[in-house]
Amino acid sequence: MRENGSVTSATGPAPAAFPVPPRLIATDLDGTLLRDDKSVSARTVAALSAAEKAGIEVFFVTGRPARWMDVVSDHVHGHGLAICGNGAAVVDLHGGPGEHRFVEVRPLERLTALAVVDILRAAAPGTSFAVERTGGIHHELAYPPMHLDPASGIAPAEKLLAEDADTAEQPVLKILAYHPELSPDAFLALARTAVGDRASVTRSSPTALLEVSGPGVSKASTLELCCAERGIAPAEVVAFGDMPNDIEMLTWAGTSYAMGNAHPDVLAAASGRTVANNEDGVAVVIEQILQSL
């Protein structure tokens, strides 16, 4: 666990671990705020509402695309913004399902995406790809379909990313790369070595599914931009996460918590640890924050 004498575990006794009053809470969704059944518990809803009433902004920061944000749309208040696609987009969730509006897009350039596909095909034969655009997802025939999200189109990645593709006017938010045999962490390490600084490579799935964004694009870098617009310093941010795609955000925030169910690398990166997502670990800490104010 990252050394930080001002932080105690959420399972510990003292909420006085917040020497700087938090102004913003940044939380991942899957495996963090959401329970395994993808629900938001009544306790968590109450904690989020109480935080905003106390003047603390809440940002959902997720790898999910905007169209998968309905699960939390009912719990958005105030600014109504969420960071989606691992930092590739800032979305206004006001208006409910189907009415989400892109406020900012940090795209993966087409030629860079094509280069990454070529690199990973050579480095990890058998990799299949999907292309996530602002208008939906498109994937190769071998790519495992997502039950939440039928593909808008099925074709080789090179065709999906062609200059004359039917969806060429839609920015690419990220590409996804799946390998049927490699372990998730081995695939991530291999891909990061092969791709280098051409793009940002991370993962949030328990399977060997990687997410590739533009260079420098991450949950942390986009959250930093949103905080700078509000005059909020890193020390005033409390962040929560459970998977490798959360690590940059957890190390950037002044105070951060790994969930009890988190990946070992996340446990090492965070400055504190709370209980698991199914035990409302985010709500536990928010309640401590409010008690400390």
- Is the whole model's pTM more than 0.75, yes or no? yes
CA–CA dist 251, 257 (Å, integer): 10
User: 10-45 burial, b if ≥16 CB within 10 A, otherwise e?
Assistant: beeeebebbeeebbbbbbbbbbbbbbeeeebbeebe
pLDDT at 100: 80
Q: What is the CATH number of the domain that holds 184?
A: 3.30.1240.10
Final residue belonging to a domain, choices 178, 213, 248: 213
Query: Residue 134 above 80 pLDDT?
Result: yes
Domain range for residue 149?
A: 110-213
Tally of domains in the chain: 2
pLDDT band at 70 (very low <50, low <70, confident <90, very high): confident
Instruction: Please tell me whether residues 195 and 247 are part of one structural domain.
Output: no
- Give yes or no: residues 276 and 153 share one domain: no
Are 204 and 227 in a shared domain? no
Last residue of a domain, one of 152, 187, 213: 213
Based on the domain organization, do 127 and 192 belong to the same domain?
yes
CATH code at 275? 3.40.50.1000
Instruction: Give yes or no: residues 89 and 227 share one domain.
Output: yes
Q: Give the relative orientation of helices 184-195 and 110-123 as an angle to the nearest 10 degrees.
A: 120
Same domain, 144 and 160: yes
Residue 259 included in any domain: yes
Per-residue model confidence (pLDDT) at position 67: 84
Q: Is residue 183 part of a domain?
A: yes
Q: Is the domain of 117 the same as that of 204? A: yes
| 80 in the same domain as 62 | yes
> Residue 16 has what pLDDT?
43
Arithmetic mean of pLDDT, 13-27:
73
Q: pLDDT band at 152, cuts 50/70/90?
A: confident
Contacts of 130 (CB under 8 A, 6+ apart): 137, 138, 139, 140, 143, 151, 157, 175, 176, 178
Q: Are residues 101 and 115 in the same domain?
A: no
Decide if pLDDT at 51 tops 90: yes
- What pLDDT is recorded for position 93? 83
Asked which of 181, 213, 245 is the last residue of a domain, the reply is 213
**115 domain-assigned:** yes
pLDDT value at residue 148: 59
Co-location of 36 and 95 in the same domain? yes
Going by pLDDT thresholds of 50, 70 and 90, the confidence category of residue 2 is very low
Domain contains 8: no
Predicted confidence band of residue 71 (pLDDT cuts 50, 70, 90): confident
Q: What is the mean pLDDT of residues 97-101?
A: 74
Q: What is the predicted pLDDT for the residue at 94?
A: 76
| 125 and 202 inside one domain | yes
Give the pLDDT score at 69: 82
Query: Using one digit for the tens of pLDDT, what is the confidence trace for 4-17?
Result: 433 444 444 333 46
Rounded to the nearest integer, the mean pLDDT of the chain is 90
